[in-house]
Amino acid sequence: MEIILKKNVENLGEVNDIVNVKNGYGRNYLIPQGYGVIANETNRKVHAENMRQQQHKAEAIYKEAKASADAINKASINVGAKVAKDGEKIFGSVTSIQLVDAIKKQAGIVVERKKVSIQGDIKTIGAYTASVELHRELKVDVKFNVVAE
């Protein structure tokens, strides 16, 4: 019996997979629990249409992320920090929160703080690079400067 899964089932498959299971397992467990539906002709057509729509939405989201990546790369990102008297060392360090705020103000792009990774501690003025995940398939290296406020 073929089943179209509506939820993830451990050791069987993920959402929208068409899997082959024994009749009893499908009729007595998967279908009554709402994990799947029988893969008849009607349900296959509905499944195919849903997959086509999801693909279209995913492409639109990817294009939007690509446009955001271009906007970030074109912008000159400067992160301000308080500087000690010697003019080189900053108080504290630059964090992803400060970088996200700078990207929002200077490039007009909203980025989640958790999607930004800065390698090492930034404790001096200068040019640095951080990695930003805009989409699960698109990571961008953002070049930014730490400047004195």
Residue where a domain stops, chosen among 65, 95, 119: 65
Q: What is the pTM of this model?
A: 0.67
Torsion angles phi and psi, residue 20, rounded to 5: -100, 120
CA nearest neighbour of 111 among 93, 145, 138, 147: 138
Q: Residue 42 maps to which CATH number?
A: 3.40.5.10
CA dihedral 14, 16, 21, 24 (to 10 degrees): 100
80 lies in the same domain as 53: no
How many angstroms separate the CA atoms of 64 and 104, rounded?
16
Q: Residue 113 maps to which CATH number?
A: 3.10.430.100
Tens digits of per-residue pLDDT, 57-110? 999 999 999 998 898 888 889 998 888 887 788 888 888 899 999 999 988 889
59 lies in the same domain as 96: no
Beta carbons within 8 Å of 38's beta carbon, 6+ residues apart? 1, 2, 3, 4, 26, 31
